[in-house]
Amino acid sequence: RLWHNLGDNCGVAEDLLVVGGAHSFPDGDPGEELLEEFDVLVEVDSLTHIVTVTPLETASGPRTAQLLVRDPAGNTDLALLEITVLRGGEPPIIAELPQLLLIAGTPEQSLNLDLFVSDADTPIEDLTWLASAEPGIGARIDGRRLLVSVPADQQGVRRVLLASIDPQGNRDEAPLTVLIQQDDEAPTVSVQARRNPLTPDALDIDFSTDEELRAPPEVQLNGISATPQPIGPGRWVVSYPIPVSEDDQHLTFGVRAADAAGNEATRDVEITLRRVGNDGGSVLSADNAANINVPDAAARPGRIVVLRQMAPADLPSGADGGGPVYELDIAAGDEIREPVVLSLYAGSSILDPMQGMQRWNPMNADWEDVPTTVDTASAWISAAIREPGLYRRGEVNSENRRPAKRLSNHPNPFNSMTQIEYEVTRDGAVRVEIFNILGQRVRLLVDESQQLDGLWAIQWDGRDDDGLRLGSGVYYYQVQEPGGARLRPMLLLR
């Protein structure tokens, strides 16, 4: 508390008052007034002309009080009393702040302020921060972090004034420079396609963008507008009912999206579909570089082949690079027991002695080798598979690569199950039969009126047509197709 006698400076003053927001005390002397300016109290004794200044605990820095002096004749004069409140302790010190480079229209960015302040006698977590931004950007404090946002139409340089205040009221201020970069890149759209688990006859197309859009995205399914449903920030889903047809079907999913800066992105995703509920068949990808052969033995009600080439934006982290990646699904995400043959066109890469097929293992987040048959004459590589997922061409170990044969089985000899791979050289009817050493047919594996040329696969479990287990010995398997008939032996060991 500060006392000061102003009587010698007031001449013949009758009254000395504090004005401009003064509060009077009805029970006190009418010449005694009180000013509450923010957090400083100013009192004047009308008899002694002593001014009392009382700063509250939170007061700090410069303050002013307006004084009014009046003589007996009613003449008055005004003057300002300047007050500076000094606090005890050491003030916080803000270090040199970095320049922030922000892209206009992008989400709010944050800066940890603890890294740029120190206080000799106050823990950093007890400091209070204030932020004031120039027009054109937004700035706010969240705890001890600065959050800055830049609207899409801004450019140039802006400043944010930061103040750090300790509990005693000591403070330090420093400017933060924000450099604004124009957003001239279109948003990236990633697309995933999955069979609906509750409605298997529907294909759910889930897509997302890597930045906020100025308006909902526009979607078309085979050229017909569709309304996507939001399922999260920057994420939507649209459902496509798969027509009831045993023929190959092609779905073109088109999406158009514009970010807050007006940059527009468009994508067209080609998806090949085929129902294999009653009969098998062959499915060719939209780019004609991937083919899947499904034998009748792998046909089941509800099974639909979904085949498409993946764009880099659609791949999981770490899966990009290498050859084109294809996504394959047959049983709504489940593994199947019967093998199907996936073939990928290798082109001139077929001459690479390490060229083979790989599958993405989502558990290990890595590509793993798939036993591959390599046909250098046609430049296709093939593999009998059972698992859905992502497949591509890549370098494999030599034990996972073998030359193509028109008829072979693996393993041989075998105990309970062997896989027979056969080539159809001309489209048409195909039969695969098993014979014993006496030439008697014991099992009919394939009897299809139409199979397309290419590599096919079928399993034999060592049982006859009645489901009875056959004994150990040599058996012969034969394929008959429009291009000819082939016969090879195999050894069953019980």
Q: What is the C-alpha separation between 85 and 165, in angstroms, rounded?
A: 15
Q: Half-sphere exposure of residue 143, counting CA atoms within 13 Å on the CB side?
A: 6
| pLDDT confidence bin for 40, thresholds 50/70/90 | confident
Q: Is the pLDDT of residue 239 over 90?
A: yes
Number of C-beta neighbours around residue 121 at 10 A: 12
pLDDT of residue 17: 56
pLDDT of residue 107: 82
pLDDT digits (tens, 9 = 90+) for 160-181: 999 999 988 889 999 999 999 8
Burial class (CB in 10 A: 0-12, 13-18, 19+), 418: buried
Give the residues across from 93 on adjacent strands. 118
pLDDT of residue 26: 35
pLDDT digits (tens, 9 = 90+) for 214-228: 899 999 999 999 999
CA 356 to chain centre: 30
Q: Indicate the pairing of strand 145-149 with strand 76-85.
A: unpaired
* DSSP type of residue 189: E
Q: Give residues with Cβ within 8 angstroms of 74, minimum separation 6.
A: none
pLDDT of residue 7: 42
pLDDT of residue 175: 96
Closest listed residue to residue 79, CA positions, set 19, 122, 33, 24: 19
pLDDT of residue 331: 94
Q: Does residue 136 come out as left (phi exceeding 0), alpha (psi in the -120 to 50 range) or beta?
A: left
- Percentage of the chain surpassing pLDDT 70? 92
Q: Domains in the chain, start-ordered, CATH in brackets?
A: 15-85 (no CATH), 93-181 (2.60.40.10), 277-401 (2.60.220.30), 407-492 (2.60.40.4070)
pLDDT of residue 48: 82
| pLDDT confidence bin for 184, thresholds 50/70/90 | confident
pLDDT of residue 220: 98
Q: What is the C-alpha separation between 277 and 300, in angstroms, rounded?
A: 4
Number of C-beta neighbours around residue 321 at 10 A: 11
Residue 105, token pair as written in the block: 């229209």
Q: What is the C-alpha separation between 189 and 442, in angstroms, rounded?
A: 55
Closest listed residue to residue 306, CA positions, set 405, 400, 202: 202
| pLDDT confidence bin for 458, thresholds 50/70/90 | very high
The length of the chain is: 494
pLDDT digits (tens, 9 = 90+) for 407-449: 999 999 999 999 999 999 999 999 999 999 999 999 999 999 9
pLDDT of residue 29: 41
Q: Is the pLDDT of residue 211 over 50?
A: yes
Residue 462, token pair as written in the block: 């060592």
| pLDDT confidence bin for 72, thresholds 50/70/90 | confident
Q: How far is CA 351 from CA 100, 287, 334, 374, in A?
A: 51, 22, 34, 10
Give strand ranges (E) for 259-297: 264-275, 281-284, 290-294
Q: How far is CA 74 from CA 23, 47, 49, in A?
A: 21, 17, 17
pLDDT digits (tens, 9 = 90+) for 464-485: 999 999 999 999 999 999 999 9
pLDDT of residue 430: 97
- Average pLDDT of the chain? 89
Residue 139, token pair as written in the block: 């700035």
Q: Is the pLDDT of residue 354 over 80?
A: yes
Give the torsion through C-alpha atoms of 194, 187, 236, 326, to 10 deg.
0
| pLDDT confidence bin for 38, thresholds 50/70/90 | low
pLDDT digits (tens, 9 = 90+) for 111-163: 999 999 999 989 999 999 999 999 999 999 999 999 999 988 788 999 999 99
Q: Are 66 and 7 in contact (CB under 8 A)?
A: no
Q: Give residues with Cβ within 8 angstroms of 187, minimum separation 6.
A: 209, 210, 211, 213, 257, 258, 259, 263, 265
CA 258 to chain centre: 17
| pLDDT confidence bin for 199, thresholds 50/70/90 | confident
H/E run at residue 370:
strand 366-370
C-alpha gyration radius of the chain: 41
pLDDT digits (tens, 9 = 90+) for 245-303: 888 899 999 999 998 888 899 999 999 999 999 899 999 999 999 999 999 999 999 99
